Amino acid sequence: RLNGGNGGYSQGAVAVISPKPVVTKPSPAPKPTPVQKPKPTPVKASSSKISVTQKATTTWNAKGKTYHRYSATVTNNSGKTLKELKLYIDNLYGPVWGLTKSGNAYTFPSWLTSLPAGKSMEFVYIHANTPAAVSVSSYTLA
């Protein structure tokens, strides 16, 4: 058995005896694929009074996968205070910061109970895909 240094796993070796020497050419190393930063993708919310936009802020490679950190901004475009916001996030494959998980939806974080008129809040998430689909499910204006 030969130890090829492959994570401590032993690899069995098989010898083939041939009357002529066998010459093998090493295969060329694959060309690395450049990592393309995703373009900011505005996400349409269910109401023009509340808007959600997203953009990739960081991209990196780890263990053969490309990961993105997305920043999403929820803006209260109404003339009233936004309360009881409920967001749905589909096609999310990573952690979320800045929101509270509530069943199948996300709500304001524990430190925020409302969003005044004209103000915005941000949440972030990381995943190895294009931006998740964020939609406004429900809210109240007071």
Specify the CATH architecture of the domain 41-141.
Sandwich (2.60)
Domain ranges within the chain, ordered by starting residue:
41-141
Given a contact cutoff of 8 angstroms between Cβ atoms, the answer to whether 86 and 106 are in contact is yes
Per-residue pLDDT at 21:
54
pTM reported for the whole predicted model: 0.65
Given a contact cutoff of 8 angstroms between Cβ atoms, the answer to whether 61 and 35 are in contact is yes
Given a contact cutoff of 8 angstroms between Cβ atoms, the answer to whether 108 and 123 are in contact is no
pLDDT digits (tens, 9 = 90+) for 2-55: 444 444 444 444 444 445 555 555 555 555 555 554 444 444 444 589 999 999
Rounded distance between C-alpha atoms, residue 24 and residue 18, angstroms? 14
pLDDT digits (tens, 9 = 90+) for 82-107: 999 999 999 998 899 999 999 999 99
Contacts of 6 (CB under 8 A, 6+ apart): none
11: helix, strand or coil: strand
CB-count burial class (<10 Å; 0-12, 13-18, 19+) for 102: exposed
Per-residue pLDDT at 74:
97
